[in-house]
Amino acid sequence: MYTQCLRCQTVYRLQAASLARARGQFRCGHCGQVFDGLDRLVDQLPETPFQELPEVEASDTPVVLALPAMRPAPRQPALFEGDAAPTDGRREPRLPGEWIAHDRAHRGRGVSAPDKVPEMRIPAHIAGPSRKPVSHRSGNGRWWFGSFILALTLGGQIGYAERERLLEDDRVRPLLDRACEQLNCKLPMRTAVDEIRLVSREVRPHPDAPKALMISASMVNDAGFTQRFPIVEVTLSDLGERAIATRRFQPQEYLAEAESIARGFPAGATAPLVFEVNDPGQEAVAFEFRFLPTP
């Protein structure tokens, strides 16, 4: 942002923190005039030459902010609170093989059971007519229940191993989103760098720093869903298409607001890109953008 002294027409570059701290009031370092920096506040400098920055008309009606950028999320409590329980005197769990060995070592101690229980026979005149033995199916029920638990566990392990592919699958992801809405959970954002399109790009000398370049561009999310902001790779090359300099920019390096990164790249939205890099020299005559998925 830029503003201009109303007396000597000197243009100054402002930061948002300085503007908020001074409440719009500044003193010119050239002529000493105190002026309101909001009267002639612009985002970019006009084409040179110019005399005065455009004056912003004041309005008594407050501006209505209709589109929220983000709301603060409630702070989640820690998973484990307090000090850890002391481990002195704690009995460590045994492995399954150790329990079996322990049982075999102590088998036969204590009260011993007889080797064979004598079979009791009831006389026919007391037992009455013969009846068919009752069939107990409790053993089969336990077997089916154990099989179901094992299958459920196996399915969970397969889903966890293939979670990244399932989250990006267009057939599975809608089902997971609907299930997560019912369970009040949140799935990680998707990634589709092939659906990100570059609409404009420009490289020019940096206006404030010598031997530096300013690269500006705009990208559009053509995917039908909100995805993570990508890693942007910029490559400068010479006339023979030989790469001279390459650098990868993380989302936090080209986005000023951390809330935008957490909110993601909305479907159909346009995001500006501004990079400041060292000038590799006169041999750099071409540049190329490439989008990479963010881990």
What was the pLDDT predicted at 231?
94
d(CA 253, CA 274): 9
| Closest by CA position to 7, among listed 52, 46, 44 | 52
| Residue extents of the structural domains in the chain | 1-56, 162-188, 193-292
Q: How high does pLDDT run on average in the chain?
A: 75
What was the pLDDT predicted at 221?
93
Topology classification of domain 193-292 = Coagulation Factor XIII; Chain A, domain 1 (2.70.50)
pLDDT tens-digit profile of 237-257?
Answer: 888 888 888 889 999 888 878
What was the pLDDT predicted at 84?
46
What was the pLDDT predicted at 125?
55
pLDDT lower than 50: segments of the chain: 79-81, 83-90, 96, 98-100, 110-114, 117
Q: C-alpha angle 144/148/152, rounded to 5°? A: 170
What was the pLDDT predicted at 287?
82
Beginning with the edge strand found earlier in the chain, give each strand of the sheet holding 286-292 in spatial order: 243-249, 231-237, 286-292
What was the pLDDT predicted at 136?
53
